[in-house]
Amino acid sequence: MTAAAIEVQDLRKSYDAVEAVRGVGFSVAAGEIFGFLGPNGAGKTTTIKILCTLLQPTSGTARLAGLDVTTSPSEVRRRIGVIFQDPALDDRLTAEENLTLHAVAYRVPRVDRQARIDEALRFVDLFDRRKDLTRTFSGGMKRRLEIARGLVHRPEILFLDEPTTGLDPQTRARTWEVLRDLRQKYGTTLFLTTHYMDEAENCDRIAIVDHGRIVALDTPAALKRAVGKDLVSARTADPAGLSRLLQEKYGVASTPSEGGLSFMVEGGDAFIVKLLTTDRPALEGISVRRPTLDDVFLSLTGRQIRAEGAESNLARVRAMVRRR
């Protein structure tokens, strides 16, 4: 835990007139699980592409294990593994052939190759399917095979771009088990991007990004604490009356929701008790909820993270091929 695994300073990337990444800086310790959380188009994928040497930054520096990504890309490439948002497997090769090619490309010593490949396949529970063409695999199996591939050369840092997008909840949970085991067993540093709040909860620390900037960076618990307020939802037949009461008596702004309204206050439990003992419109129900990362994002940016336009590039190509 001496040197930082990832060290980024004032990173910027512009495409023509658009500034996708606007001065991002952070550092990730070795063995840490670090997440980039933000909506689509926030600059997450651009950042990950710069870190894994696929894109040149417009300005700023990024160092991985002390190596600069722009001046020594091949040294960096040897130390990292990358799992892309869309599967990057050769689907006309078998699972084993995909890993073998990877082992050769990353110069895994010939004597170690087969053992490493078998170990990686067993790690993700795909050893029995090693002779099958990957085109016959489900989405979750493909993702697991990609994780296995990422392990074959024992990278110091593993990058994962939206690792569980498009997977069912069960497969997602299984993928996370594998990722946590990975850190446990090999001490691998994990850097991931996501727009799922529950996925971000798995990280040691999260950088919340929006419009190419980091708007907050801390542990999930600390971020939620910083919001400080609980979310109260009240069901009532008279939302207008209740809203007026909240505004006039407590200075609390509320937003209409289904069957009533919701609002954020400090100390939600105590506030409910106070509310119940005042003269107020009739309530049909009331609930209080601790802030989630969603609320953190909302309070920082005034917007919610929505999975808008989450259809992946691959799905788009598939659709195009089908139309032909």
Partner 1 sequence: MLEVIYALWRRDMIKFLRDRRQLITSLTRPLLWLLAFGFGLRASVRLPSGGPDFVSFLVPGLAAMTVLFASMFAAISIVWEREFGFLKELLVAPVPRGAIVAAKILAGSSTAMIETAMTLLLAPLFGARYSPLGALAALPVLLVFGMGVNALGIIVAARMRSFEGFGSIVNFVIQPVFFLSGALYPVAGLPHLLHGLVLANPMSYAVDAVRGLCLGHRNFPLALSVGVVVGSSVVLAALASRAFRRMEA
Is 135 or 180 the residue whose CB approaches partner 1 more closely?
A: 135
Say if CB 251 and CB 264 are below 8 A apart.
Answer: no
The beta strands (E) that lie in 135-198 are given as: 157-161, 189-194
Is 77 or 174 the residue whose CB approaches partner 1 more closely?
A: 77
What DSSP designation does 25 have? E
CB of 237 to partner 1, least distance (A): 53
Is 188 or 202 the residue whose CB approaches partner 1 more closely?
A: 188
For residue 124, give the nearest of 101, 102, 149, 161 by alpha carbon. Answer: 149
Is 83 or 214 the residue whose CB approaches partner 1 more closely?
A: 83
Q: How many CB atoms lie within 10 A of CB 308?
A: 10
Using CB under 8 A as the criterion, which residues of the chain lie in contact with partner 1 when the complex forms?
Answer: 49, 52-55, 74-75, 77-78, 80, 82, 84, 86-93, 97, 100-102, 104-107, 149, 313-314, 317, 320
Is 24 or 82 the residue whose CB approaches partner 1 more closely?
A: 82
CB of 84 to partner 1, least distance (A): 5
Helical H segments across 255-312, by residue range: 268-276, 293-301
CB of 296 to partner 1, least distance (A): 32
CB of 147 to partner 1, least distance (A): 13
For residue 157, give the nearest of 240, 93, 67 by alpha carbon. Answer: 67
CB of 89 to partner 1, least distance (A): 7
Output the DSSP codes for 59-74.
EEEEEETTEETTT-HH
Q: What is the Cα–Cα distance from 236 to 260, expressed in whole angstroms?
A: 5
